[in-house]
Structure 1
Amino acid sequence: MNSVKKQGRMTGIGQRKLNGRQVRMNGFSALMLICCLFLSSFQNVSADSSPKEISCFSNDRGGRIKDIRIQGAFPLLERDILSVMTLYTGSALDHDRIFIDLSEQKSLIESHLEKQGFIHPSVTVQAFLDASDTNYVVQVNMDKGQYQHLRNIRFTGTGALATNHAISDIRLKTRMTTWKKALLPGVSGRLIHADILKDIQNLTAFYRIRGYLDVGIDYKIVPLPEHPHQADLEISISEGAHYRFDWKGNEAFSETKLKSDLVFWDDGKINDINIKRSIRKIKTRYQKAGYLEPRIDIREIHGPSEETIVEKVFEITITEGPKTRINQIRIAGNNTLPSTEIEKQILSEPGRIFQPGVLIRETLDEDVQAISALYFSKGFRTAEITPDISLTPDRTRADIQINIHEGRQTIVSEITIIGLHTLPMQAALDSLSLKTGSPYFEDMMNNDKNKLTELISETGHPHVQVQAQASFPDDPFQARIEYRIDEGPYVVMGDVIVSGNFTTRERILKNEMEIRTGDPFSLKKLLQSQKNIRNMEIIRSVQFQSCGLKEKANQVNLIIAVEEAKPYILDAGIGYETEKGAFAHTRMEDRNLLGSNIKAWAETEISQIGYKGETGLTEPRLMESRVSADALVYAEDRSEFNQSFGVRILGSSLAFSRKWENKISTGIAFNAENRQLYENNDLFSQSFQTDYLTANGFAPRSLMMITPKLQYDTRDSFVRPRKGIFAAGYVDVSRGIDSDLDHFLRYRLDTRYYISPMNRLTFACTAKWGYIEPMNTARVIANDQLFYLGGSANVRGFDENMLRFNTNNEPVGALSSTSGTVEARIDLGNQIELCFFTDSGRLGQYQVSNIPDGFRTSAGIGVRYLTPIGPVGLVYGFKLDREPGEAPGRFHISIGYTF
């Protein structure tokens, strides 16, 4: 990586001039962006003390670090190097400790490099003082040096798995990260000691789960004199005796399931403690299946002395006993609460269809506790709940009667609040859950105490203390509740001082504050303010330090220390997708334009179906509100696969969106476009089957479109969702300016559902619907506005856009579209995912004649490789309703999930 000199006057601590860059890499395949950032400064932070104010800072004896530049990190990530360092952007650099601090960073980074497999790395860390603002730029230069590359792995030892080289060598190697990395070229395949230690642990677990509990594994790195930077890895395996477990009496569960309850695999020891733990786990499994009194015995079977060296046998005998099912559950003694309310607390239930109804004592105990809690919440402090279980002679059926002795109900007779001055008395009483005449419940009284504390605290009394006490002076079933309040001093928000914002304007950060100088101090608003700043893309980390709160001062000053994220991003890549063929794209972005938290970007892409480019601005806090605004201009030339026409688009857009706390977001977009269709091949004119389209389809068209949207999103991940719901609805209100081919209303609905019933299995479902209502006299719209189906994005048994086609084998679009997919995604490990899917789609209301209607369906299988930025997949879909002359199916390559 070449360096770029930074222009300007600087004073260096060290022997070299400052040079460096800020680089961030992202994308499927990324290039590097060279950028030098000239930052504004924040030098000394101080706060004068008054008798009632606590000083936050004394004067700094040095400057602050406004940037850390790292050179020579590849193939390591810059963020990994920064996480090792104790210095960070925005931290103070004391003149008296500067050499100590820099030497400490040097040692930390060199130690990290050695752990990453580099031999004798050399690191220089220098701090350069910028005379213009007396702050520092820290330059880290890394010469990682040489590294060892693994040439071969040899296994030695005794035993079936260790000596059967024809099978076990590759079997063991495939479980080793070290061996997999050695297959990579260059520095990516270096030998890392931490990986070897993890591999030894994995191999040990591999042997133990196969019965070699006494296995011992050691390793040795053997350097090669003739190749000083290569080495062999010798792994010595001493298997020891093989342990076999013979199961008897287990009819309810297979040996495989019960084997997972044995705890011997963890540490390889069979002793009294581990035997008792294993018995307890097996017994719990049976009890949860309705076996009330299972008996488990584990003992060693001693054989001839010459055989015990090779194999040790343990016999596990299980006496399951009968499986007890619940016949009925009765509730007796409930005079006040109805049985229907009590039954809601009971998880135990009689057997029904698809409900085994087994008796589980643990669940029954939880039911009793839940009923007791219900009665306590209703004021029955002396209620007693006892279950009575009646078993049939063969113990296969059980009648359960829950006996309830309610006792008398305790009622709140009076509520008194003493020491309240900040809030009106009635407002405080209204905020309480307990009222005069309501049932007394101690937990609810404590909850009300916390409510009062929070209410008073938010009025500027953060040191408030509330004590709650219930007394029964006249009648043990009449409770008098008294809240004693010590509000403490009134505290206001003082000065807010921001440090570390060398690029971001101070007002941008203060705008995220929910509390202002002079407002009553509020811890709740302070925490929300910290959350707001942390969620900003331009901020990497933030810390709040309140000065004066602990000392109970009348004014609390706040220090906000931020570490800014790198503002410049270059994202570039090449790839191939079935939907658009080979492509190359690039995106340049400034996430903090002029320090105003405005994102500016320019993006281009060229592919086999055309090109597109756009540039725009994003304001996340429009006019200091929570509304985000996007303004962009774009140009596109697109001729999709199999289409007989292409379209050129030049347009601009202005969009507003708002995220709400309940996972809902709303938005509206305004688009102005100029579109023109052009001929893609000689069959273009035949694809326009009406005189109306033939006469008007070629001319340039200008249109205005308004698109409101409503979205609901509970997905746990955007890259690889495993659970949650996504639903979005759009309405495109389009009006043509010089052509009525763009007069229409277009409705679109996109729904997705994800569920993972097992750790490695995810079901993903999607359903999409669209409908276009033409608003012109001819009730015909332009072909580039219609719906098309088929391809990697929806029905994968078909080629792109080819779900329905005419006699010339050209795609046909429609005014309505319906499609759906169900997909099972199975994680095979090692970042490999297998998927099975079925797709179905239907187009309707064609603008041409003689096109069949109805759903077309496909099914298929695929494999994906999971990367941090999304999966790369190859799938094959085959038609389930293949028509004469059609291909049986279609391969698709995709980057990322299609839904």
Structure 2
Amino acid sequence: MVWTAAPQFATAQDYQFSKLVIEGNERIEPQTIITFAGIGKGQAVSAGGLNDAYQRLQASGLFEKVELVPQDNTLVIRVQEYPTVNIVNFEGNKRLKDEDLAQIVSTQSRKVYSPAAVEADANKIVEAYSQAGRFAARVDPKVIRRDGNRVDVAFEIKEGKVSEVERISFTGNRAYSDRKLRNILSTKQAGLFRQIIQRDTFIADRVEYDRQLLTDFYRSRGYVDVQITGVSSEMTRERDGFFMTFNVREGQQFKFGSISTVSEVGELDAEEFQKQAKIRSGVVYSPNAVDLAITRMEELALRKGAQFVRVEPRVTRNDRDQTLDIEFALVRGPRIFVERIDIEGNTTTLDQVVRREFRTVEGDPFNPREIRNSAERIRALGFFSNADVNSRQGSSSDQVIVDVNVQEQPTGSFGIGASYGVEAGFGVTLDLQESNFLGRGQYLGFSLSTSSDNQQNRLTFVEPYLFGRDLKGRFSAWYTTSENDNSYFSTRRMGISPAIEFPISRNGRLETRYTYSRDKLYDITTESSEILQREAGERDRSSFGYTYTYDTRTSSIDPRWGMTFRFSQDLAGFGGDVEALSTNVLARVERKVLQEEVTLRAELEGGAIHARGKTDLTILDRFSGNGKVRGFESWGYGPRDLNAKNEDALGGKYYAAMRVESEFPLGLPEEYGITGGLFWDVGSVWGLDDTLGTGGDPVLNRVDDGMNLRSSIGLSVFWTTPIGPLRFNIAKALKKEDYDEEQVFDLTISTKF
């Protein structure tokens, strides 16, 4: 627009208006227009000043057209106001809903129309589609004039296709293959389910996160000089795909050299703190090992009452032998306190759930390392897709404020499983779980498993911080029935079990529990074992028990391996009809080899139950071996009465099993998410107190309760599908008894919502 003036005048001419006339305004007050113009009555104004007034009125964004017309001593300011927005429409959008787009744009109904705002809104919509991986999206704003100085604004959207990551490649990587590094990234190549999986779409904001993942991966394995020097993202000509290349500079792998400790705090003995390092020279360097050593030393200092003590790792680099000497120095840190902890972004999760992951409270000495550890614990909850913890100066130089910003993610899960047996046929398992119930960090789970012969129902509730302390309270209730499930009898089990679990070491936890159950054995056919017929009936069981668990998987210094050990005992006899001691033990080791592309697992498990007093154990007390050796049905192996026509399974007082398996790539494109596995199981269930079976003649008795080893081999297929991880097992029994029942395959799958 240009301002017009009549009559024409020279640019050097000055004007002085005794009267200002405003024309064309409907909603905007005359004084507001005069204020924007900046011209007062009687004020001398040059031609340039009139031009400046015109520019100010145009820049206000209120007027579609502006004219300044000098008429003798009168200045006429003639305006045409921008119309009012009647309605805002979004057309052509399918992937993003109208209500989501309405939150993005500033143009709204009953507000003043602004061309600049509409163009900016169009760009915002394009950016929103880019964040969703649709870089080919185009938005064309349309304005439709209506009566009464109103307009309809329509954003015509062409969403385009998802810009997928067609290929991810690496340069400079020697220690680890492209396949392994691709598994580290959060971004994935487009695969079979490219229309469903969101991680195969290109999102620019995710690139920096992937760079950090690669850096952390290498450094945790001793590559202290690793650098991701650049990431190139080349778009295809059709703008529907990207080729990503990560440039890696690995450097050399370092190991720990000499480990020493010095104290610059008079009252602290360095030799005592040296014992807390627990790092062996010669092992691959790991920042996690250094962090754990520092944490142990600072905790020891606190136990000794030494405040504001910091442990500084002083690193000496030895390039000749590629080692790092670590000297832990105990120093006196600055006297800084935590003023407060601010938490933002948690719309569902309560503040207390986040706050309890801090070992520091308001008023405590500020420990940067403890704050970082708290951030890791918050992320480990699994409630948040992102959790940033930062500190800033507080109200004074000796105070800091800790800011916690989180982004919540779905914490519920729905699982569905399937199995198949020769006798039992198909079975279905449904699991409904919520790990952040009502935003309190509590776990609530319900499972239902059913087949043609049995049904299992279980309810579990877990309070991870009972009484505001690191005490995990657990309550379980169950009701299960079986009707001739691979047997010629029926059972009914129901019970409850409250428990409390607490830590006793960094990796060790102890659970104590009470269990009450009422179990019934019934519907035993006349052709079944006399042992089972003598055991028929209903009994109450009341027991106290404990479980000790040692698990290094989340705190292992070497990320390539982890170990789990579990030992539990239950003593029944505190009321009820059963007096017995049951013991179970499990040891599991996992190791990644061959550039960490192959995972090896080994498990050793066993158990025993002994009757006390005058109690006679029944099949409800003994072990069935279910799931201990793959390739066999429920009650498919173990002690059996061969005298009975039904050749009934009886269960055993003892069981032992060893399971070895591997998981490895199959050579398929990794974006398919399909890997393979092999397993070998061996084990047995044996031992009975009552071996006088059908017929009653000890000479002719054919009750087999010996320790007859069974073994099987099998093939597994692991498939990471859009609805969750799937595992498919095909098993073949190698060593078995003639009366054993085999299970050829089973299938399990779970998903999150």
Please, what TM-score do these two structures have when normalized by structure 1? Answer: 0.47
**Residue in 2 aligned with 1:875?**
730
Cα pair 1:743 1:776 within 8 Å, conserved: yes
Give how far 1:756 is off.
Answer: 4.3
Aligned-partner Cα distance in 1 for 2:160–2:419: 36
CA contact (8 A) 1:574 1:582 kept: no
Deviations 1:135-156 (A, max 9, x none): xxxxxx9999675999xxxxxx
Write out per-residue CA displacement over residues 514-554 of structure 1, whole angstroms, 9 at most, x where no aligned residue: 222223333233333333333334344333332327x9702
Deviation at 1:813, TM superposition (A): 1.3
Name the CA shift for 1:672/1:147 in 2 (closer, same or farther; >3 Å): same
Q: Does 1:697 find its partner at 2:536?
A: yes
**One-letter amino acid of the structure 2 residue matched with residue 806 of structure 1:** D
- Deviation (angstroms), 1:615: 3.1
Aligned twin of 1:669: 513
Cα distance per residue 1:253-301 (max 9 Å; x no partner): xxxxxxxxxxxxx99xxxxxxxxxxxxxxxxxxxxxxxxxxxxxxxxxx
Match of 1:860 among 713, 717, 733: 713
**Cα offsets for 1:7-32 (capped at 9, x unmatched):** xxxxxxxxxxxxxxxxxxxxxxxxxx
* Residue 678 of structure 1: aligned partner: 522
CA contact (8 A) 2:571 2:580 kept: yes
Give runs of aligned pairs for residues 124-523 of structure 1, distance below 5 A. Answer: 181=192, 187=195, 425-427=266-268, 490-523=335-368
Q: Which amino acid aligns with 2:400?
A: V
Q: Match for residue 19 of structure 2?
A: none
Task: Rate the CA distance shift 1:561–1:694 in 2: closer, same or farther, 3 A.
Answer: same
Equivalent residue for 1:750, pick from 566, 586, 589:
586
Distance 1:142 1:665 in 2: 59
Measure the CA separation in 2 of the matches of 1:717 and 1:73: 41
C-alpha separation between the residues in 1 aligned to 2:359 and 2:490?
51
Contact preservation (8 Å) 2:448, 2:455: yes
> For the residues of structure 1 that align with 2:343 and 2:519, how far apart are their CA atoms?
49
Residues 534 and 611 from structure 1, CA distance in 2 versus in 1: closer, same or farther, beyond 3 angstroms?
same
- Corresponding residue of 1:843: 686
Choose which of 384, 388, 399 in structure 2 pairs with 1:555: 399
Counterpart residue number, 2:11: none
Cα-to-partner distance string for 1:781-828 (whole Å, 9 max, x where unaligned): 121221123x65415266743344322222121212222233454432
Aligned counterparts, 1:721-732, within 5 A = 723-732=561-570
The answer to whether the 8 Å contact 1:819/1:841 transfers is yes
The corresponding residue for 1:33 is none
State the partner residue of 1:575.
418
Match of 1:533 in 2: 378
Q: Structure 1's 72 and 743: CA in aligned 2 closer, same or farther, altered over 3 A?
A: farther
Query: 2:620 aligns to what SS in structure 1?
Result: helix
Q: Does the 8 Å CA contact 2:623/2:685 hold for their aligned counterparts?
A: no
Q: How far has the Cα of 1:629 moved from its partner? A: 0.8
Looking at structure 2, the residues matched to 123 and 876 of structure 1 have their Cα atoms a distance apart, in angstroms, of 59
- The equivalences for 1:709-788 within 5 A come to 709-715=547-553, 723-735=561-573, 737-738=575-576, 740=577, 742-759=578-595, 760-777=597-614, 779-788=615-624
1:108 aligned to 2:127? yes
> 1:455-482: per-residue Cα shift (whole Å, max 9, x none)?
79x9776999999xxxxxxxxxxxxxxx
Q: Runs of 5+ in structure 1 lacking a partner?
A: 1-70, 75-80, 86-96, 125-140, 151-176, 196-218, 223-230, 234-265, 268-361, 379-414, 418-422, 435-446, 468-482
Distance 2:197 2:437 in 1: 40
Give the deviation of 1:728 after TM superposition: 1.3
Distance in 2 (CA, whole Å) between partners of 1:106 and 1:661 is 53
Give me the identity figure in percent: 13
Seen in structure 2, the aligned counterparts of structure 1 residues 763 and 617 have a Cα distance that, compared at 3 Å, is closer
Matched, 1:892 2:733: no
SS class of match (2:688): strand
1:768: Cα distance to partner?
2.0
Deviation for aligned residue 1:625: 1.3
DSSP 3-state at the match of 1:571: strand
Letter aligned with residue 748 of structure 1: N
CA offsets 1:638-668 (integer angstroms, 9 cap, x no match): 3473122222222222122234554222212
Shift of 1:428: 6.9
Question: Do the aligned partners of 2:511 and 2:548 also contact (CA within 8 Å) in 1?
Answer: yes
Question: Could you say what the CA RMSD is over the residues aligned between the two structures, in angstroms?
Answer: 5.6
Q: Which has the higher strand share?
A: 2
Q: Structure 2, unaligned stretches of length 5 or more? A: 1-92, 105-115, 142-154, 165-187, 204-234, 248-252, 276-292, 315-328, 669-673, 693-701
The CA distance in 2 between the partners of 1:702 and 1:99, in whole Å, is 74
Deviates more, 1:527-536 or 1:619-628: 527-536
Report the residue type matching 2:715 in the other structure.
Answer: G
Counterpart selection for 1:794 from 629, 632, 652:
629
Match of 2:347, SS? coil
SS of 2:530 mapped into structure 1: coil
Instruction: Compute the TM-score of the two structures, normalised by the length of structure 2.
Output: 0.55
User: Take 1:486 and 1:750, find their aligned partners in 2: how far apart are those partners?
Assistant: 45
Q: How does 1:628-643 map to 2 (within 5 A)?
A: 628-639=472-483, 641-643=485-487
Q: State the aligned residue count.
A: 509
Distance in 2 (CA, whole Å) between partners of 1:535 and 1:179 is: 28
SS at match of 1:784: coil
Question: What letter is aligned with 2:513?
Answer: A
Q: Which residue identity is paired with 1:861?
A: G
Q: Distance in 1 between matches of 2:683 and 2:728?
A: 20
Q: Which residue of the partner structure matches residue 641 of structure 2?
A: 806
Deviation at 1:872, TM superposition (A): 1.8
Q: In structure 2, what is the equivalent of residue 815 of structure 1?
A: 653
Note the C-alpha offset of 1:669.
2.1
C-alpha contact 1:707 1:733 (8 A) present in aligned 2: yes
